[in-house]
Amino acid sequence: MSTETIANRREFLKATTGSSAAYILGFCLPGRAHAESRSEGEAAIFKPNAWLRITPDDRITILVENPEMGQGPRTMEAMILADELEADWSAIRVEQAPVIPEIYHHLKTGGSGGTEWAWDNLRQAGAQARETLVSAAAERWGVAKADCRASNGAVLHDPTKRRFTYGALVETASKLEAVKADAVPLKAPSEFRFIGKPRPRLDVPAKTDGSAKFGIDVRAPNMLFAVMARCPQFGGKLVSFDAAAAKAVPGVRAVFEVPPIRWLQMGNFGRDINSAGGVAVISDSTWAALKGRQTLKVSWDKGAGDETTESLRKQLLKQAAAPPSYVAVNQGDVLQALAGSSKKVEATYELPFQAHATMEPMNTTVHVRDDRIEVWSPTQIGEIHRQEIAQLAGTPPEKVLVHMMFCGGSFGRRYQWDYVAQAWQVAKEMKQPVQLLWTREDDMQHDFYRPYSYHRMSGGLDERGALTAWSHRIVSTPIRAVFDSPEELKDPKHVASQELSGARVIPYETANFRLDYAPVHSVVPRAWWRSVASSFNGFAVECFVDELAHAAGRDPYEFRLSLVPETQKVADGGDAPLDTSRFRAVLKLAAEKAGWGKPLPAGHGRGLACFYSFDSYIAHVAEVSVKEDGTIRVNRIVSAVDCGTAVNPDGVRAMTEGAINYALGPVLTGEITVKDGAVEQSNFHDYQVLRIDQAPDIEVYIVPSNEKPGGMGEPGVPPLAPAVSNAVFAATGVRLRRLPIDPQGLRKA
């Protein structure tokens, strides 16, 4: 095991062995420093709060809560804390915080919220430590604290030119009453040394030599390897199986049924975890487990098993014209305004299911011991898994030790509970650690997909080309229906609640605005796919604005600016307010940098989209070229980003580039379809994701800002598909209203 895991285990044991209650208290109470009782000769550690340890050798360890899935929280969190701490960057090392939710409250990440969470908490944590260290130095010197200052890992007394490194102050600082975290002075942005300046990521070197440990890389003594056979049909179940041949495969140790797990109630909180169960094959190597699974004879009950993408589409189209189940916004009188408008524009948009397809497929390793359960998982939600496994096993949560491993991508997939529950189900039958691996096929066919959505839009323009009405009907296979109780799902507002983001708060001003919703049932599991509902609503909204602009005979960029108020906060209570001045600023920046309006060769086109999500504003300008055979090439994306304070600007760039490419795959090729209740695609040959030869040149421009940081993992996704789609229209005059692109529709006659 890595040293990190060993450190975590030590922390865990200390935290769970009752005798060290004082240790936990000192560790978790943000306001109190403490001297940990220690035996003779053991070095002192200064731990003013749960995120920081300083040792006499001047080493600074920062414990990071957010899981590392590629978005760079280790470096970003360390930068925030170290800046206020006035640390010497070279002294810093980072560890994943142990999964002890009694101490740490953000051992998960979702909704691009990691940096926003870290901003206040870790600045305070760093400042608290800094102030305590300065007090310690003042006490040692017998001088006024006001005459001392912290700088680059040391406290200085300028009048006498004396200096203590932080390490030299550990002993004294540990005994001081710590300054209250919420009472410490924070730095002004002009004083930041790390925040806002590009910094190489701390996890990158280990990701260039194979030493970074992902969940799939966990290797424990006597570990076994397992795979499961699962019913291809959603809603299907196991009838019987014959394991004789599988058990004869050399290396296979056991074959048994894994029962389904559906509803899991944990105190006041319950949820359908959607684990359909199956048959597990446990072996002494992955290959033997795979061979064993191949020879299994399994009989499945396919359940309803008759859903197809076509049958689903029929339902979506039907619901697009049916009365809504929920009216989210109804401002003014849209019907009357549309009837009275000088020009009425109508369009429909359709986006299919998408898989997450993380490069590291789902997996988890579990060791069920007599006295505790140890879980190693690539997960977005370490703290939830502790509770989940404790509940399933009927054991106190303190007896479950979860190690949050590096995630080989996530994009929302690892917010699920199914793969960890199954790993526990398999491991509890064996007295050894077991790694349950999902093959690529398992992963692609048993994902929780982006919802299928259909959008019916209507807009009205007056004779001057101003927007008089906006109507948006969203029809989708709602996420809530996959997880929530029948009681919760009686409320149509609740059912719609994960489907509306990006459609409810829009920057375009109109007196008459309606947004309503109608759900469609599907057996296909859905959940949070990078940027969630904004990924489909962004497409509908930003394509439709473009259509309106052309109907009004206006330039799409000028038209947008004419509809977005100069300074206004647009909110409806559901999301954080959209600041129209920031929206306008990224729109202008992207247009300027892309050379909006400059001529392009024939067959080329430029398209624009701008979107606000997860408290960040991003505009993309896409340049495409379309060949005679209808195939398109995206040549260049110019992107303007306002994410508030860009803690690590290079990280902001990386996230923007990644989001652009991730979103481009489903524009060009990728689509999950269903036949007989099962997913038709199985691997990267029939679910095609973006490859390097399709990757455009990307330029990212970051708006300087001292606002609180917004999210960056997701916001680059929503405006990409509409920007490309609008560019294709500019190049060809053909509107793309269903993705992925069908080149047939663009082929020159």
Partner 1 sequence: MAGTRLIVNGQSHEIDVAGETPLLWVLRDTLGLTGTKYGCGMGLCGACTVHLAGDAVRSCQTPVGSVGSRKVTTIEGLSPDRSHPLQLAWIAEQVPQCGYCQSGQIMQAAALLTQNPHPTLEEINRAMNGNICRCATYQRIRRAIQRAAQEGA
Distances 295 to 257, 282, 542, 703 between C-alpha atoms, Å: 15, 13, 50, 58
State which residue, 370 or 693, has the beta carbon closest to partner 1.
Answer: 693
Are the CB atoms for 659 and 716 separated by under 8 Å?
yes
Provide the minimum distance between the beta carbon of 586 and partner 1 in the complex, in angstroms, as a whole number: 20
Coil, strand, or helix at residue 402? strand
State which residue, 212 or 489, has the beta carbon closest to partner 1.
Answer: 212
Provide the minimum distance between the beta carbon of 78 and partner 1 in the complex, in angstroms, as a whole number: 15
State which residue, 67 or 502, has the beta carbon closest to partner 1.
Answer: 67
Exposure of 335 by Cβ count < 10 A (0-12 exposed, 13-18 middle, 19+ buried)?
middle
Provide the minimum distance between the beta carbon of 410 and partner 1 in the complex, in angstroms, as a whole number: 8
Alpha-carbon distance of 10 to 29, in angstroms, equals 20
Using alpha carbons only, what angle is made at residue 705 by residues 702 and 711, rounded to the nearest 5 degrees? 70
Provide the minimum distance between the beta carbon of 554 and partner 1 in the complex, in angstroms, as a whole number: 33
Alpha-carbon distance of 479 to 494, in angstroms, equals 10
Alpha-carbon distance of 443 to 361, in angstroms, equals 6
State which residue, 408 or 451, has the beta carbon closest to partner 1.
Answer: 408
Place of tokens 């003013």: 48
Strand partners for 611: 618
Provide the minimum distance between the beta carbon of 555 and partner 1 in the complex, in angstroms, as a whole number: 29
Tokens of 671: 């689509």
State which residue, 189 or 250, has the beta carbon closest to partner 1.
Answer: 250
Provide the minimum distance between the beta carbon of 70 and partner 1 in the complex, in angstroms, as a whole number: 3
Residue 454 CB contacts under 8 Å (≥ 6 apart), including other chains: 313, 316, 317, 319, 320, 348, 349, 350, 474, 475, 476
Containing H/E element for 386?
helix 382-393
State which residue, 555 or 699, has the beta carbon closest to partner 1.
Answer: 699
Tokens of 741: 């692109």
Provide the minimum distance between the beta carbon of 716 and partner 1 in the complex, in angstroms, as a whole number: 11
Q: How many CA atoms lie within 13 A of 735 on its CB side?
A: 17
State which residue, 286 or 673, has the beta carbon closest to partner 1.
Answer: 286
State which residue, 179 or 405, has the beta carbon closest to partner 1.
Answer: 405
Strand partners for 258: 278
Are the CB atoms for 389 and 378 separated by under 8 Å?
no
Provide the minimum distance between the beta carbon of 714 and partner 1 in the complex, in angstroms, as a whole number: 13
State which residue, 356 or 473, has the beta carbon closest to partner 1.
Answer: 356
Q: Looking at the chain, how many residues does it have? A: 749
State which residue, 643 or 689, has the beta carbon closest to partner 1.
Answer: 689
State which residue, 3 or 208, has the beta carbon closest to partner 1.
Answer: 208
Place of tokens 């090392």: 93
Provide the minimum distance between the beta carbon of 204 and partner 1 in the complex, in angstroms, as a whole number: 5
Tokens of 340: 């009275």
Containing H/E element for 312?
helix 309-321
State which residue, 208 or 268, has the beta carbon closest to partner 1.
Answer: 208
Quote the strand ranges of 419-452, DSSP E. 434-437
Provide the minimum distance between the beta carbon of 683 and partner 1 in the complex, in angstroms, as a whole number: 5
Strand partners for 518: 475
Provide the minimum distance between the beta carbon of 549 and partner 1 in the complex, in angstroms, as a whole number: 30
ω into 198 cis (within 30 of 0): no
Provide the minimum distance between the beta carbon of 59 and partner 1 in the complex, in angstroms, as a whole number: 22
State which residue, 494 or 636, has the beta carbon closest to partner 1.
Answer: 636
Alpha-carbon distance of 380 to 35, in angstroms, equals 33
Provide the minimum distance between the beta carbon of 440 and partner 1 in the complex, in angstroms, as a whole number: 4
Side chain identity at 493, as an amino acid letter? K
Provide the minimum distance between the beta carbon of 408 and partner 1 in the complex, in angstroms, as a whole number: 3
Tokens of 38: 């220690």
Coil, strand, or helix at residue 347? strand
Provide the minimum distance between the beta carbon of 443 and partner 1 in the complex, in angstroms, as a whole number: 10
Alpha-carbon distance of 196 to 497, in angstroms, equals 35
DSSP sequence for 30-92: TT--------TTPPP-B-SSTTEEE-TTS-EEEEE-S--SSS-HHHHHHHHHHHHHT--GGGE
State which residue, 480 or 593, has the beta carbon closest to partner 1.
Answer: 593
Are the CB atoms for 225 and 286 separated by under 8 Å?
yes
Q: How many CA atoms lie within 13 A of 185 on its CB side?
A: 9
Tokens of 747: 């082929």
Strand partners for 434: 224, 366
Q: Nearest Cα to 609, choosing from 546, 529, 531, 700? A: 546
State which residue, 438 or 483, has the beta carbon closest to partner 1.
Answer: 438
Residue numbers at the binding site for partner 1 (CB under 8 A): 68-72, 200-201, 203-214, 216-217, 219, 225, 250, 285-287, 357-361, 406-411, 437, 439-440, 650, 654-655, 657-658, 660-662, 683-685, 689-693, 695, 697-698
